[in-house]
Chains A and B, each alone.
Chain A
């Protein structure tokens, strides 16, 4: 089926290939208990200047996907297959030394916990300068000046002085700013942020998210934001990809996915999140059960054991037949992998809406 290799969203222009084109990416880890299929056939595209939010719970494969984009599975036991085309260049088959010259320069990454992601024994300035020197033939002094400039850009007060500080002397928010400075020091074309604000306080999270968004506007790079929190992507992403058990479950623009969600898992995520506005008496509607095993995933739709609506699909199809990611009729770019017919989905949504209002 051609849909496996056609990612959809982002302007479908046949003439020019998308800046980032991931096709049928698979990352499998052989273990004693069997093969862990962390990522199992994921495709998406991304243009420069755009942001993709990859959303999923723990074990959904979102972080493993991001490490594959950086080629960080090379040299490990992980088996990576599929294609990652960045600006026309295929990365999966790229040898390590060639991939290395892209890391940090063309593709760079911001990690979740800046305290553990920065080396405790080197100064913040030295770590940023090092990231610059790997890819640029410059003197130590020039690299250090660049580090100061970057720190200033990300809003570290007194950058001349703070450049000599160690990570533990920074506050949590400042460490993540330093991490961003390090990721952006070589003006990357693709920036991957893996849960960049999960370890931070809420007011600092807002600062950091806005900073990533504002910097993107200035640098014009492509950004992938990985998170478990649909709220985090709402304001910053253009497209959202929802992952479950290493696969795509729903994919579309922010508006499509958050305002017109089509997959019962996405419904579940949205309905289990308490809100700070709206009806306070609304009861949360959690998703029953827990995430699937990645070694022996459930047959058919991986979500079916937890799905409230599998009864709406005739003949128990959900348990045997894996739904493909198909276009939601009439949208063009909104895809969902679910056997429910559009009519049934509509009916369910009307019912839950009235149910919630009671």
Chain B
């Protein structure tokens, strides 16, 4: 497995300086802008053909907005999206057809993203008809093949979405995305609404499709374990910025950014012994509002290593000394590249500190 980024020119998707600010308006008669939600604030990344990039982060980090910007469901405030060699940042809607065909999206909620009044067949066929694609075997046959590909019974062609379970509906959504043989699929939390056992079915399906059809993925999820399982490269986002990006092995075993450490440490593992093996970091409070993000490094308000410099100078996303190629970190005072248990836990939460101090004093 290669840990390096593919050379320039091979990129299927190139995102640079991508920014999305949602204006906040206020006023009695005339609305004037009084601020903006800094949903995505200047991010760069690339995805090679057939590669999968994971975007992880907590609510408000901008990962879903990023997905919508790439697929042009939202208009970027600034920055550039180059897909398949073509700059699609500001391509007007009527000229997006070609790009749309190669760039599909799968949504989180399999209940609301399918039109309940259309049959499964219609849902899967519509993208083909809209794009004037006439497969030699005919629309119906092709749709049935697609249903079979995603593990549904092709005879269910005439059924309606409400006759299917959540997992099956997500399969329908996937079949629809596959109808145009896309080069890239943006999957926004594709399994988070599903039960654990069903999640695994869908993850396996996506993995098979990726391998067999060579589709590249931008996989957006809050679940770090699912992302590690699915994506070769992973970018960690915090308040509209990418704070760290690396191949999965490096990111999950040798992260440098304190936030990546905190995030990994917070993931619960179904292993009672894991607690003693892994470092324990408990942050204080929640993610600050993206309306007025902290100056300098955005994580500094919750970071145990923050110093004055972090407030004044925004750390660039760069390859730090000791980092492998392609491992970029945005931090002035990076951590050691290890997730092993530390001599002393890092507990910033005041309630936990008090309780744990009391407990250790009593014992």
Contacts and interface: CB of A to CB of B under 8 A. Distances in A.
A57 B351 CA distance: 31
Interface string B93-126: 0000000000000000000000000000000000
B268 A286 contact: no
A142 B267 CA distance: 39
Which interface residue of A57, A157, A172, A290 has the most chain B CB atoms within 10 A?
A: A290
A355 B331 CA distance: 41
Interface in B218-273: 222-226, 228-230, 248-249, 252, 262-272
Contacts of A206: 265-266, 268, 282
Contact of B195 (A210, A215, A228): A228
Interface stretch (A107-115, A122-130, A231-239, A323-331): A231-239
Among B262, B282, B355, find the residue whose CB has the most chain A CB atoms closer than 10 A.
B355
B267 A287 contact: no
Contact of A207 (B197, B282, B287): B282
A275 B275 contact: no
Q: Could you tell me the dominant secondary structure of chain B's interface residues?
A: helix
A268 B197 contact: yes
Interface in A261-302: 268-277, 280, 283-288, 290-291
Contacts of A217: 355, 359
A60 to B, nearest CB: 10
B4 interface: no
B209 to A, nearest CB: 14
* Contact count band on A: 35 or more
A280 B249 contact: yes
A276 B351 contact: no
A284 B229 contact: yes
Interface in A192-251: 201-207, 209-211, 214-215, 217-218, 228-232, 234-235
B290 to A, nearest CB: 12
Contacts of B335: none
A58 interface: yes
B53 to A, nearest CB: 15
Interface string B186-203: 000000000111111101
A61 interface: no
B64 to A, nearest CB: 14
Contacts of B349: 155, 207, 210-211
A258 B287 CA distance: 32
Contacts of B58: 201-204
A268 B200 CA distance: 10
A254 B198 CA distance: 24
A172 B270 CA distance: 25
A204 B354 CA distance: 17
B273 to A, nearest CB: 8
Contact of B196 (A57, A201, A258): A57
A153 interface: yes
A190 interface: no
Nearest to A272: B200
Given A202-B222, A211-B352, A290 B59 contact: no
A155 B203 CA distance: 38
A173 interface: yes
Contact of A290 (B167, B252, B263): B167
A280 B228 contact: yes
A140 to B, nearest CB: 26
A119 interface: no
A221 B115 CA distance: 49
A305 to B, nearest CB: 13
A211 B347 CA distance: 11
The binding surface of chain A is classed by DSSP as helix
B350 A155 contact: yes
Interface string A164-184: 000000011110010000000
A62 to B, nearest CB: 12
A303 B254 CA distance: 41
A141 interface: no
B355 A218 contact: yes
Contacts of B223: 202, 274
Given A155-B350, A172-B59, A274-B229, A214 B355 contact: yes
B266 A273 contact: no
B285 interface: yes
A135 interface: no
B211 to A, nearest CB: 11
Interface in B284-319: 284-287
Contacts of A171: 285-287
B271 A258 contact: yes
Given A201-B59, A203-B283, A284 B203 contact: yes
Contact of B270 (A231, A268, A290): A231
A161 interface: no
A270 B252 contact: no
Contacts of A136: none
B266 A58 contact: no
Contacts of A157: 285, 350
A273 B270 CA distance: 9
A255 interface: yes
Contacts of A275: 225, 228-229, 269-270
Interface in A142-172: 153-155, 157, 171-172
Contact of A234 (B204, B226, B272): B272
Nearest to A253: B272
A26 to B, nearest CB: 24
Nearest to B59: A201
B352 A231 contact: no
B224 A202 contact: yes
A202 B266 CA distance: 6
Given A155-B352, A202-B222, A284-B204, A209 B272 contact: no
B146 to A, nearest CB: 21
Nearest 7 CB-CB pairings of A with B: A155-B351, A272-B200, A231-B268, A286-B200, A206-B266, A274-B229, A287-B197
Interface of B: 58-59, 165, 167, 195-201, 203-204, 207, 222-226, 228-230, 248-249, 252, 262-272, 274-275, 278, 282-287, 349-352, 354-356, 358-359
17 contacts: A153-B351, A153-B354, A154-B351, A202-B224, A203-B58, A204-B286, A205-B266, A231-B269, A231-B270, A235-B274, A254-B272, A258-B270, A271-B200, A274-B228, A275-B228, A275-B229, A277-B252
